Amino acid sequence: MRKRAACFDAGAPFGAQVRQDAFVAAYPRETQEMVFDAHNRAVAFFGGVPQRLIYDNFKAVVEAILVGKERQHAP
């Protein structure tokens, strides 16, 4: 049986002076609760909070794609 999963992945940017590990978690649906849980787990995994987050058209976070790299974020 095949099922779809919503995946969350986080990693340090190239050239960063931190370890180059990656955090990945799979969830049954893409919801705001999933986003909060995944962020909490990623912060615990990396041992700190990043200065900046970049989202790649994440439905639970990005409401609309605007011009260029501009995004309208969900409330």
Q: What percent of the chain has pLDDT over 90?
A: 3
The tally of domains found in the chain comes to 1
In a domain, 1, yes or no: no
The predicted structure's pLDDT at residue 37: 92
Domain annotation covers residue 16: yes
The confidence score (pLDDT) of residue 13 equals 59
Phi, psi for 13 (deg, rounded to 5): -65, 150
Structure confidence at residue 46 (pLDDT) = 81
DSSP E strands: which ranges in the chain?
A: 6-11, 22-27, 62-65, 71-73
The dihedral through the CA atoms of 33, 35, 41, 4 has a sign that is: positive
Q: Give the residue carrying structure tokens 């609760």.
A: 33
Residue 6, both tokens: 């919503």
Checking if the pLDDT of 56 tops 60, the result is yes
Q: Is the model's pLDDT at 18 over the cut of 70?
A: no
Structural domain for 21, as ranges: 6-73
Residue that wins the pLDDT comparison between 54 and 63: 54
Predicted structure pTM score:
0.65
